[in-house]
Amino acid sequence: MTLNLGDTVPNFTQKSSEGDIEFYKYLGDSWGILFSHPKDFTPVCTTELGTVAKLKPEFEKRNVKVIALSVDSVEDHAGWIKDINETQSTEVNYPILADQDRSVANLYGMIPPAAENTLTVRSVFIIDPNKKLRLSLTYPASTGRNFDELLRVIDSLQLTEYEKVATPANWTQGDDVVIVPSLQDKAELEKRFPQGWTEVKPYLRLTAQPKR
């Protein structure tokens, strides 16, 4: 299955390190990040899972629930979690799906048809409260994911979901934003952006980040 941005992501029920999980029920009204791993006891993934555990309070501030996936068993996950906690000086505090039958991986198109094994299963999906896919990324096995960047993307998505702005290159929380070109009505512009804006070009207007 191929998922495109804006698609409703499929629901599923799968075993996990914290019991059986129905995905939609797990997410509830929250945003979500589903990130996958090729197998347990892999070095790069060990650092990633530890990093996410440490960043969980940051995800919670943004109303984001995290959930990982690996194609090994619940029993293997239990042993791997012990290693993660030991080596990364943290406590894994979110579920890891045990996708032994590859049902979720296949449902979300994590394994390309040309793949000879599961080493390409290193995907990230950001999902909004309406269960719509807002971002998808696939990483090579050798490159650890940048979860600070994923937090930045979530900040951008949540800001631009409710304000008529977009975020420029390398934007971070608190930086100036771009007014969307479709907003042309002067009265609405002044109402939305009482702090004013700088018109670099008619299509490129910068303003202070709106407060929410």
CB 110 within 8 A of CB 39: no
User: Cα torsion for 17, 72, 132, 57, to the nearest 10°?
Assistant: 40
User: Cα torsion for 132, 135, 138, 144, to the nearest 10°?
Assistant: -120
Q: Of the residues 45, 49, 52, 150, which is catalytic?
A: 45
CB 151 within 8 A of CB 181: no
CB 31 within 8 A of CB 158: yes
Rounded-to-integer distance, Cα 191 and Cα 187, Å: 6
Encoded amino acid at 108, one letter: Y
Rounded-to-integer distance, Cα 69 and Cα 175, Å: 34
Let me know if 41 is a catalytic residue.
no
Rounded-to-integer distance, Cα 59 and Cα 137, Å: 18
Q: Which two tokens stand for residue 145?
A: 């994911």
Where in the sequence numbering do the catalytic residues fall? 45
